[in-house]
A and B are shown apart, each in its own frame.
Chain A
Amino acid sequence: RKEVEQDPGPFNVPEGATVAFNCTYSNSASQSFFWYRQDCRKEPKLLMSVYSSGNEDGRFTAQLNRASQYISLLIRDSKLSDSATYLCVVNNFSASKIIFGSGTRLSIRP
């Protein structure tokens, strides 16, 4: 079983829709979590951190569920420019480990 798993998609949704995807992790000692965005053939860039209390940045909301060991990303009122691959990142400080999920591809259609 992979340490971090994501549904690869693609998720194909119309502009304006709400879309959500999850990322599950297997190591309960994981301590910090992030979502990165990667456009085709480009480098990943930080989208947002994920806090225990959840956090929101405009149309984006990230949640952490430690009991079930997953993080989620919700995108409201999706735009064409949201089309990208979304990577979840899970960190274990004590083991100095950083694990990237393989990404979920999102495609927004007009």
Chain B
Amino acid sequence: EAQVTQNPRYLITVTGKKLTVTCSQNMNHEYMSWYRQDPGLGLRQIYYSMNVEVTDKGDVPEGYKVSRKEKRNFPLILESPSPNQTSLYFCASSKSFPGEYEQYFGPGTRLTVT
């Protein structure tokens, strides 16, 4: 089954404790992206990757890191989480730049930073 998986689905952590949210897709997609969704603000892009070893900042990259060492995986790293990073996070992938192609989203990771 074609899908995007994210782990963990739910995470409660404390300020400053490094964490990684994993994202994997099995569709051989070139483009992958991370979004955060907050009430009233919609989905905002954090980072994206056009292909392996190619990543770029989205609209809200501060406090996040990503890497794309393999085509299927695109982990999101919070080196020192803060309460303002409490949010619902979605990973997404598409065949190429999603201006032309459908984006497939993972089920989301609900992160709470206390």
Residues on A lying within 8 angstroms of B by beta carbon are: 4, 8, 31-32, 34, 36, 41-46, 87, 89, 91-93, 96, 98, 100-103
Contact = CB atoms under 8 A, between A and B. Distances in A.
A91 B98 contact: yes
Given A43-B107, A93-B99, A100-B43, 19 more contacts: A8-B40, A31-B99, A36-B103, A43-B106, A44-B43, A44-B90, A44-B105, A87-B42, A87-B43, A91-B98, A96-B48, A96-B50, A96-B56, A96-B97, A98-B45, A98-B98, A100-B35, A101-B42, A102-B42
B44 interface: yes
Contacts of A34: 102
Interface in B51-72: 56
Nearest to B107: A43
Contacts of A91: 97-99
Contacts of A45: 105
B57 to A, nearest CB: 11
Contact of B107 (A31, A42, A46, A87): A42
Contacts of A44: 43, 90, 103, 105
B100 interface: yes
A4 B45 CA distance: 14
B106 A100 contact: no
A46 B95 CA distance: 14
B105 to A, nearest CB: 4
A102 B33 CA distance: 18
A43 B42 contact: no
